[in-house]
Structures are given as structure tokens and as C-alpha cells.
Amino acid sequence: MHLAQAQLEAFDKDGYLFLPECFSAEEVACLRAEAAVILNTQRKEVWREKSGAPRTAFAAHTYNEAFRLLAADPRLIEPVQELFGEPVYMHQFKINAKAAFDGEVWQWHQDYGTWARDDGMPEPRAMNISVFLDEVLAINGPLMLIPKSHRHGTLAAGHDIETTSYPLWTLDHATVARLAEEGGIVAPTGRPGAVLMFHGNLVHGSAGNITPYPRTIVYLTLCAVSNFIRKPTRPEWIAHRDFSPIEPIAADALMGYARGGRVAAE
Ligand code: SIN
Ligand code: MN
């Protein structure tokens, strides 16, 4: 998938791009079924909220065939590769559940703040590209973004290890208020199969989900190969050490898998 000039300009200006209807209903149904199995599994890569509900499943692309295919899908790899002008590798891969009733907050943060401080990533030449597996609504904890905030570089942050089960370098209220005054706050919503990509320095967060509607989103964190992490402190399954360039697979590989009968997640 290639981005048009107008999309590249919008990304540069606002720091994100929302692309509705990138994955078909069949592909998403397959991924959602696999995600449900994975999120119910007891394994170290699946983190839970304080309530016990699943929060994040890391590295599913290393042990699940449907997510292995997603992790090399050209619709996700090519736009990021083109933006960085070089091949990319998988820095992190996560399925965020934001479970019905129990999904908790993600505090305001910049992803690159964590990649730089915890993983020793030299530059913000990595970014998240995500796929909605459920419908993302205004009411079920959509990701909120502060447009244009990526232009402010890497901001001072505090290490929050208490608010949720996931340690995060978070921004203070004054910083968020100042940035929101300039860029406002948007919350892209849409059908399963939509894709959202955003700059590593774009400020974002999400509120808790108290609705009966889950909000599962898969995030691929793709990093320019030359920008590989130098000083990792987190486990390999959170911040990967395999810096090999991702070779995009055939555009219909996931569809073929979804149609051909699936292998249940291990
Ligand atoms: C993230 O910022 O990494 C995840 C936020 C979310 O899924 O709501
Ligand atoms: Mn984030």
C-alpha cells in the first residue's frame, strides 16, 4: 500500500493518518478469533489489568500464524518503510484488549519517550501502525491523539509504574494542556479493519472502557533498521532484538489463511 502525496503531507502536518477499511471483514474475523484465544491464555507475554482482565498480549506474531502474517502484511509495512526511506524491523508487537467494562486507562505519553529511555533507541524513526479488530467508538476508550504534538520533540516525562500494570513515561497535565491548546484532541473512530498510524513523538492516551463493547487494537511498532535499539532494558518479547528487515509478504496471504481454516492459537 502506497501513500498519496496528500496523505504524506497530512502525516507531516498532524502526525497521524487514519485509513478506514484496509482489512476485510473475513481477515478481521480471523484475527479477532485468534486474539480472543491468545488474550485468554496464561503466559508471561499476556499482561492483565488489576481486575484480571487482559490488557496487552505481546509478541503474538512470534507464535501465532495469523499474527505472523499480519506482521509482514504489505498494507502495514510499505507505508512505514516509505516514510522512513529504508527497510523496517519489528520493535514491538502488541494486541491491546481494552476489555469491556474493565479496560483501563493509557496515560498521556509519547511512544518514543519509552523507546528512547527504556530501549536506547537513537532517533524517533519508529512508529506504531495499528489495526482495529473491534469497532472503535467514541464511548469504548478510543485512542486520543494531540495533532501536531510530534513537532515538539521528546518531552520531559515521569516514569509511572503505579497507575496501571504497564510502566510508562507519562506527561504532566500542564504539558498536555499546552499541546492541546495548539492541536486540539482527536479520537479516530471506525469499523474493524481500519488502520491508524502515528509518529513516535505524537502525544496520545486513552480512557478506561466501562461499556459492554471491547476495543481490541493490534499495534505493530516498526523501526527503521539503521535505528535499532542500543541499550535495551526490557525483555526481548517486549523490545525485540531481531533487527532483520521485514520482507512484506503477498497482499492476499492473510485472506488465504482466513479462508483456508485456521490453526488455533497455541
Ligand atoms: C499505547 O499507547 O501504546 C496503547 C494505547 C491504547 O491502546 O489505548
Ligand atoms: Mn503509546
Delimit the domains of the chain by residue range.
Answer: 5-259
Residue position matching grid coordinates 487482559: 54
Distance 106 CA to ligand 1 centre (A): 6
Distance 134 CA to ligand 1 centre (A): 14
Q: How far apart are CA 40 and CA 36, in angstroms?
A: 6
Residues near 89 by beta carbon (within 8 Å), at least 6 away in sequence: 222, 223, 225, 228, 240, 242, 243, 244, 245, 246
pLDDT digit string, tens, across residues 209-247 = 999 999 999 999 999 999 999 999 999 999 999 999 999
Cβ distance 54 to 237 under 8 Å?
Answer: no
Instruction: Flag whether pLDDT at 263 surpasses 90.
Output: no
The helix or strand, by DSSP H or E, that contains position 95, with its residue range, turns out to be strand 88-96
Stronger pLDDT, 166 or 154, i.e. the higher one: 154
Count, residues in the chain = 266
Ligand nearest to the CA of 133: 1
| Pocket lining for ligand 1, CB < 6 angstroms | 96, 98, 106, 143, 204, 206, 217
Name residue 205's amino acid.
G
Instruction: Flag whether pLDDT at 168 surpasses 90.
Output: no
**What are 47's strand-pairing partners?**
56
Q: Does domain 5-259 have CATH number 2.60.120.620?
A: yes
What pLDDT does residue 264 have?
45
Distances (CA, A) of 194 to 28, 134, 182, 204: 10, 9, 27, 18
Distance 117 CA to ligand 2 centre (A): 14
What pLDDT does residue 266 have?
43
Instruction: Flag whether pLDDT at 68 surpasses 80.
Output: yes
pTM value? 0.95
